[in-house]
C-alpha cells in the first residue's frame, strides 16, 4: 500500500517538480496538494506539463490538509511554502498529527529550519523566526552526508548549498585540502521562483551573465555549517553566486588549496571513494556538464589539480537534486523505502 502524501505550497516550480516525481513514485501517492490561491482549481491547469498525471484532481484547501493530519493514518508531508511561511504551518501540522496519533514524516524545502538557532536565522533573514520551539525537531542535512534517519523532520538544504557542499566536502574530510573554500556558482532562472523579478525576467537574463550578492548570499552560512559538520572542523567559505541565461541547473566551481601534492587521478579517486555508497553522485573524468544532469536527481563531480591547488566542479539540476528530488530521497529514507525509489530517471540530455 502506498503512503498518502500531502504537499503544501503547491503552485511553485519546486512543488511542480514534486508532483512530477510523485506521479511516477512506486511508494508515495498524492493525497492532497494545498494552495491558498488556487484551491479548487485543476492541478493540470496550473501545471500543463503534468497533463495526464493528475486528471480530475484539484488543489485542496487548508481544511483538507488538516483532515489528513488528524486522520490517524501514516502521512508523508512536503512543504514547498516560502521561507517565513513554512515554520508556523509545519508547527501546527506537527501539533495536529501528535494529538491525533498520526505518524508523520516531514521534509521542508523552505529555509525555515536550515539553521539550528533562531537568532542565527533572524540575522540572515532579517525577521524573527516564526516557530523557534519547533527548530529542534528538524535536522538540516544532505542524505549523502548523514546516515540513517536523524529526526522524523528534515530541512533540505538550498540548491546552491547542495551543489557546493557535495563538491567541497570529500577532499577536506580526507585531510587532502585545507578548510577554506571559494565557490563561484551559476544558477538557472528557476532558482528564483515562479514570480518574475528584474533578475529573472527573460529579456534581462537571456544572453547575460552577472554575479549577485557576492560574499553575502544566504546560502553561504549553510555551506559553512554543513561542510564543517561533515569534516569535524571550522570551515571558511567565500561564495559568489551568478545568474545564468538558462532555466534549470547549477554549475559550481569550487577552489581548494591542497595540504599535500597529489595527482589529479588521486584527487578523483578520493572523491569517488567518499561517494562510493551514494546512489546519485557520480565522479567523471574531465569537467561535468549541465545537460548530463538536468532532469535527473544526479550530481556529477569533476576535479582538476595543479601543484597545491584543486578545483572541483559540481553540476546538479537545482529543482531536482537541489530541491524536490533531494526531498524525495530523504522521504524515501524516512518512510523505510529504497532511497532511489521514484528517482531513477536519467537526465534529459537535450533541452
Which residues in the chain are classed under CATH 3.40.50.720? 3-140
| pLDDT, tens only, 80-110 | 999 999 999 999 999 999 999 999 999 999 9
267 sits in which H/E element: helix 264-274
- Residue 163 is given by DSSP the state H
CA separation for the pair 129, 41 (Å, rounded): 32
For residues 149-174, average pLDDT: 98
CA distances from 129 to 124, 192, 193, 222, 230 (A): 11, 22, 22, 16, 26
Backbone angles phi, psi at 304, to 5 degrees: -130, 145
pTM over 0.85: yes
Per-residue pLDDT, 203: 82
pLDDT above 80 for 41: yes
- Residue 304 is given by DSSP the state E
- As separate numbers, helices (DSSP H) first and strands (DSSP E) second, the chain gives 10, 13
For residues 182-190, average pLDDT: 95
Per-residue pLDDT, 276: 98
Q: Is 159 a catalytic residue?
A: yes
CA separation for the pair 332, 338 (Å, rounded): 6
CA distances from 324 to 2, 33, 51, 95, 349 (A): 19, 14, 19, 25, 19
CA separation for the pair 62, 47 (Å, rounded): 20
Per-residue pLDDT, 62: 96
| pLDDT, tens only, 49-84 | 999 999 999 999 999 999 999 999 999 999 999 999
CA separation for the pair 174, 181 (Å, rounded): 15
Choosing from 140, 153, 159, 299, which is the catalytic residue?
159
Cell 573524468 belongs to residue = 285
For residues 287-297, average pLDDT: 98
CA separation for the pair 237, 163 (Å, rounded): 14
Q: How many CB atoms lie within 10 A of CB 304?
A: 15
CA separation for the pair 51, 68 (Å, rounded): 25
% of the chain beyond a pLDDT of 70: 100
Cell of 59: 488543489
**What CATH number was assigned to the domain covering residues 159-318?**
3.30.360.10
Per-residue pLDDT, 163: 98
| pLDDT, tens only, 190-218 | 887 777 777 777 788 889 999 999 999 99
CA distances from 318 to 233, 247, 251, 289 (A): 27, 10, 9, 14
Which residues in the chain are classed under CATH 3.30.360.10? 159-318
* CATH class entry, domain 3-140: alpha beta
Per-residue pLDDT, 69: 98
For residues 215-226, average pLDDT: 97
Cell 511553485 belongs to residue = 12
13-23 vs 325-334: helix crossing angle, rounded to 10: 50
Answer yes or no: are the C-beta atoms of 227 and 235 closer than 8 Å. yes
281 sits in which H/E element: strand 281-283
Amino acid at each position: 500500500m502506498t503512503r498518502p502524501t500531502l504537499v503544501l505550497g503547491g503552485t511553485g516550480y519546486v512543488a511542480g517538480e514534486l508532483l512530477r516525481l510523485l506521479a511516477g513514485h512506486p511508494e508515495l501517492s498524492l493525497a492532497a496538494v494545498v494552495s491558498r490561491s488556487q484551491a479548487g482549481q485543476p492541478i493540470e491547469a496550473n501545471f500543463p506539463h503534468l497533463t495526464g498525471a493528475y486528471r480530475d484532481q484539484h488543489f485542496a484547501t487548508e481544511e483538507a490538509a488538516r483532515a489528513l493530519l488528524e486522520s490517524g493514518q501514516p502521512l508523508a508531508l512536503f512543504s514547498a511554502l516560502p521561507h517565513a511561511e513554512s515554520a508556523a504551518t509545519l508547527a501546527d501540522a506537527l501539533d495536529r498529527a501528535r494529538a491525533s496519533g498520526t505518524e508523520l514524516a516531514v521534509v521542508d524545502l523552505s529555509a525555515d529550519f536550515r539553521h539550528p538557532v533562531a537568532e542565527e536565522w533572524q540575522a540572515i533573514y532579517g525577521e524573527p523566526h516564526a516557530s523557534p520551539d519547533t527548530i529542534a525537531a528538524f535536522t538540516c542535512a544532505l542524505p549523502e552526508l548523514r546516515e540513517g534517519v536523524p529526526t522524523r523532520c528534515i530541512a533540505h538544504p538550498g540548491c546552491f548549498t547542495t551543489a557546493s557542499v557535495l563538491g567541497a566536502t570529500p577532499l577536506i574530510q580526507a585531510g587532502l585540502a585545507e578548510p577554506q573554500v571559494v565557490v563561484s556558482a551559476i544558477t538557472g532562472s528557476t532558482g528564483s521562483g515562479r514570480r518574475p523579478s528584474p533578475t529573472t525576467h527573460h529579456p534581462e537574463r537571456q544572453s547575460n551573465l552577472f554575479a549577485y550578492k557576492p560574499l553575502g548570499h544566504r546560502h553561504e552560512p549553510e555551506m559553512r555549517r554543513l561542510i564543517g559538520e561533515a569534516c569535524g572542523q571550522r570551515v571558511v567559505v567565500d561564495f559568489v553566486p551568478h545568474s545564468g541565461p538558462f532555466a534549470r541547473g547549477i554549475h559550481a566551481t569550487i577552489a581548494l588549496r591542497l595540504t599535500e601534492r597529489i595527482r589529479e587521478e588521486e584527487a578523483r579517486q578520493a572523491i569517488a571513494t567518499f561517494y562510493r555508497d551514494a546512489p546519485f553522485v557520480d565522479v567523471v573524468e574531465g569537467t561535468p556538464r549541465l545537460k548530463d544532469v538536468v532532469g535527473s536527481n544526479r550530481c556529477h563531480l569533476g576535479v582538476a589539480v595543479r601543484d597545491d591547488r584543486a578545483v572541483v566542479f559540481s553540476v546538479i539540476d537545482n529543482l531536482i537534486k537541489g530541491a524536490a528530488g533531494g526531498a524525495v530521497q530523504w522521504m524515501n529514507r524516512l518512510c523505510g523505502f529504497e532511497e532511489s525509489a521514484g528517482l531513477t530517471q536519467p537526465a534529459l540530455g537535450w533541452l
